[in-house]
Amino acid sequence: MKILKKIFGGALLVSSLFLTSCEEKLDVIPNDAILPDVAFQSVDDLQNALNATYSFVDTQSIRFNSIFSDNTKVGKDSGGQEVNLHSWVLTPNVGVAQTIWQNRYTIINRASRVIQAADIIDRTGREQEVNNILAQAYALRAFAHFGLYQYYTPDYSDPNGLSVPAVDFPVTVENLPRNTVSEVLAAIEADLVRSSGLIDASQTDNRFITEDFITALRARIALFSGEYATALTLANQLIADYPLADQAQYRAMFLDQDNTEVIFKAARVNGDGTIGGIWHFGSGNPFIEMSNSFFNLLDPADIRFSTNLNVAESDPAANVHLINKYPGTSQRFLADFKIFRVSEMHLIKAEAEARAGNFTASQETIKGLRDARFGADTPQPTYTTLNDALDFILDERRVELAFEGHRYLDLKRLSRTLNRANADCGGLSNACQLTSTDQRFTLPIPSVEINANPEMVQNPGY
């Protein structure tokens, strides 16, 4: 895509990477003249470039899924922050559409440069290390492609419909067209196959790509692709290895003190923007708050009540509900982004079971999750039709995965209308209902991409 060259230029060249660990940030020195054989001279250069690629796994999905959906409302201290996004103003010039596109193609381009450079460095005595670096690069490229697929594909069910450009090489000035749904999914799977064949099985640090990351991503992809039997099999593999957190562990997980059910998380370090900064200036100063409709779904006996809600600083009687999903520890609101948790696998399992007509098994799966969150025996759900089952599971996903980057995508995938309670519309015009057929359930291709790339086609309605 020409836009990558246009926006980033030489900043994409890995000669500008100066990282010594995954917890250090990227220092960019643009230089279009440096070639890969100069930029990469050792395995350490390759590792540093991979570390930099991880640093672009950002929290834009949390921001967009929270503010654009029905989980938030305009906060009491709003000075207009995020009001346009909350009002569903979505055009090819809107920043979020450009940022998600730009960020994920940055990951793809950087990962591709790592993959390309692995062929030219001396790997004598370090073959396994290089293979593990390659495995992570392939998986990160697949992850970024799938993120683009989720947001910019109008119809997941049409294998011949347009999706996004699938790119398996470092882009400089190429103008690339959009690939089809089936082509993008095939490219993602090809990268995951490569990754799985190279990954170091002994790697268990959940801040890095592991075999379990690959399995979790495949399970999520299978859910979106309608391959429910595959989704069930993959979810069960992870459920067998990761127990659900109990109430104490669940609270500690979002304080970055427990990893019981965390499959993969994006580490956030000093210097990164805090996740809490998506919603408020600081303690007691929210410009975006938890919505009334979401607050009303929460049960005080459920650990998710006090994990999602800042109980001490909220005032429900005054209609003030502060979000507290990522309180952090070393710096307030600085917390790791939990991208894959085993609870999501339970929810995938429950949906796959329901779609197979096995409602009893689906209900038992949901009950097991709720038992862990309430710390007590809970009633078994009752649903006897697929539509009722999907609605129930959607509500459970809303509570369990709140402010983790899922809500908008869940509504899109299930073709559900986005309905906000009147109290959550905030007096904003046309911000109470977004029908499932509205074009805004798919992001527009950014105008800078359209303008720079004559091969690019805009999504319908924009």
Distance CA 454, CA 432 (A): 37
- Partners of 434 in beta bridges: 418
Cβ atoms 35, 61 nearer than 8 A: no
Number of domains in the chain: 1
Residue-number span of the structural domain to which 141 is assigned:
36-452
* Residue 7: inside a domain: no
Q: How many C-beta atoms surround the C-beta of residue 319 within 10 A?
A: 13
Token pair of 4 as six digits: 């990558």
Measured CA to CA, the distance from residue 10 to residue 268 in angstroms comes to 26
Q: Is residue 23 part of a domain?
A: no
Closest Cα partner for 160 from 180, 183, 136, 188? 180
At 428 the pLDDT is: 84
* 270 in any annotated domain: yes
Q: Which two tokens stand for residue 363?
A: 């209900």
Return the H-helix or E-strand segment holding 132. Answer: helix 127-152
Give yes or no for a contact between 326 and 454, defined as CB atoms under 8 angstroms apart.
no
Cβ atoms < 10 Å from Cβ of 412: 21
117's CB contacts (< 8 A; 6+ apart) are 14, 36, 39, 40, 45, 46, 49
Q: Which of 94, 98, 77, 93 is nearest to 85 (CA)?
A: 94
Helix or strand (DSSP H, E) at 337:
strand 337-341
Q: Can you name the residues that pair with 274 across neighbouring β-strands?
A: none
pTM: 0.91
- Taking alpha carbons only, the member of 25, 33, 26, 45 closest to residue 9 is 33
Pick from 132, 103, 270: nearest CA to 195: 132
Q: CB–CB of 346/265 below 8 Å?
A: no
Q: What is the pLDDT of residue 35?
A: 56
> Could you tell me which residues come within 8 angstroms of residue 24 by beta carbon, excluding any fewer than 6 positions away?
51, 269
Work out whether the CA dihedral 309, 311, 315, 317 comes out positive or negative.
positive
Mean pLDDT by 10 residues, the chain (462 residues): 36 29 35 57 95 94 96 93 95 95 97 96 95 98 98 98 97 93 98 98 95 98 98 98 98 94 88 79 83 97 97 93 81 82 98 98 98 98 97 98 97 97 86 96 97 97 97
Q: How far apart are CA 21 and CA 40, in angstroms?
A: 17
Q: Which of 452, 429, 412, 367 is nearest to 171 (CA)?
A: 452
Please report, as a single letter, which amino acid is at residue 350: A
Judge whether 19 lies within some domain: no
**Distance (Å, whole) CA 189 – CA 227:** 13
Per DSSP bridges, beta strands 262-266 and 72-74 are unpaired
- Give domain status of residue 20, yes or no: no
Residue 122: which CATH number? 1.25.40.390
Q: Does a structural domain hold residue 402?
A: yes
CA–CA–CA angle 340, 342, 348 (5° rounding): 90
In the chain, the N- to C-terminal Cα span, in Å, equals 20
Q: What are the CA-CA distances from residue 415 to residues 89, 347, 435 (Å)?
A: 20, 18, 9
| Torsion angle in degrees (nearest 10) through CA of 139, 141, 142, 148 | 150
Measure CA 379 to chain center: 31
Instruction: Please report whether residue 412 resides in a domain.
Output: yes
Quote the strand ranges of 147-293, DSSP E.
262-266, 288-290
| Dist. CA 122–CA 118, nearest whole Å | 9
Q: Is residue 16 part of a domain?
A: no
